[in-house]
Amino acid sequence: MISVNEARKILSDNSTRGKTQTVPLGHSLDAVVAEDIYSPIDVPSFDNSAMDGYAIKFGEKLQRWKVKTVIQAGDTSAYKIERGEAARIFTGAKIPEGTDTVIPQELIAKNEASGEIYYQEDKISTGSNVRLKGSQCKRGDLILKKGTVISPGIIGLLASVGLAEVKIYTAPTVAYVITGDELKEPGTSLTPGEIYNSNGPMLEALLKKIGVTDIFPKKASDKKEELQQIINQALEQQDVLILSGGISVGDYDFVKECLENAGVQELFYKIKQRPGKPMFAGKKAGKWIFALPGNPSSVLSCFSQYVKPCLYYFMGKENVWEADAELTLAQDHKKKPGLTFFVKARINGDEAEVLSGQQSFNLQAFSTANCLVELEEDKEEVTAGTRVKVYNL
């Protein structure tokens, strides 16, 4: 049996990036950029007006100008403005030759008799209200680093330099197998000895939440031959295999034996933690295999701490093994020494409040929990005010 930190290191050392794909910009939200991106153009590609107003040559030290023309955004004509002249200009329009400054329209007065405009305040200087060519970025500038998660703002940035596609890391295809003759699907009736399958819907939701969309659910009875066939097929067809239940040492726990028969290389089996001690992790031909205990809280905790970071790394993300925050514990909490505990908790401001109902079968606390708190292996009592690692749910 290994420690939580040893399990993390083993998984980290065996993690690899997944495949890459070039996709339309509109399909890239929340994906990770798979290469450094350099701007193919200057942005802006021409000097343009930052507001509605009048373009003038400010260095002439004049206070009155004759309006020669009107320039709207999108006008590609070439205009030349002479001394004593101005151009009525609108936001985004190209600055005409012979001018270097835009005076906002609200600072301009107009002589109706002569048609001249004049400016008698002292609120601008040369270059005011002009967006210079290349002021956002210049051609060849690094504008986005590999490993960046694509946000709506980044999509806007890439579109602003004319890119219609972007190379990203793709999410893995994932099969999950729920084992156990006692499981029935929600919406059906139970007979004594049966329970509802909560792990399946929960795993589906956990996978979707981290961006996995190609999900292949499977259910296996407590028959070794059937389970072996399902495992073999999943390992042929999907990038990742997750199993729930059947990984302990009961008479009908065939998962570990079937994984060995399928040629899966064991990375570790059993972790000094609660919940989720009898967890298995392995690889075959670059594919991840995770066998999680059957208790629902164990499934969620193990997914949060081990499966999610591995899949996130596969999808190009960085710093996947770091906690989401460090907060102070709201109350004293006793635990068994020698095991790392992951307890259901709720963030309240700068504190994490441990909730009741910590049993591995008990899902009720998840109605209010929004995080898991890690309590270190060597502690027997963690006192209020202690800084603890927090992982968002």
Give the pLDDT confidence score for residue 121 in this predicted structure. Answer: 78
Element (H, E) at 188: none
Confidence (pTM): 0.87
Task: Give me the DSSP letters along 139-183.
Answer: TT-EEE-TTPBP-HHHHHHHHHTT--EEEEEPPPPEEEEEE-TTE
Predicted pLDDT at 112: 83
> Could you give the domains of the chain?
4-17+171-314 (3.40.980.10), 20-43+136-169 (3.90.105.10), 48-131 (2.170.190.11), 325-392 (2.40.340.10)
Q: What is the pLDDT of residue 237?
A: 96
**Would you give the DSSP letter of residue 44?**
S
12-16, 62-66, 387-391: the lowest-pLDDT one: 62-66
pLDDT digits (tens, 9 = 90+) for 123-147: 888 999 999 999 999 999 999 999 9
State how far the Cα of 54 lies from the Cα of 212, in Å rounded to an integer.
53
Mean pLDDT on 242-262: 86
**Residue 251: predicted pLDDT:** 62
Mean pLDDT for all residues in the chain: 94
- What does the alpha-carbon distance between residue 12 and residue 88 come to, in Å, rounded to a whole number? 61
The whole-number pLDDT of residue 78 equals 95
Residue 317 reports pLDDT greater than 70: yes
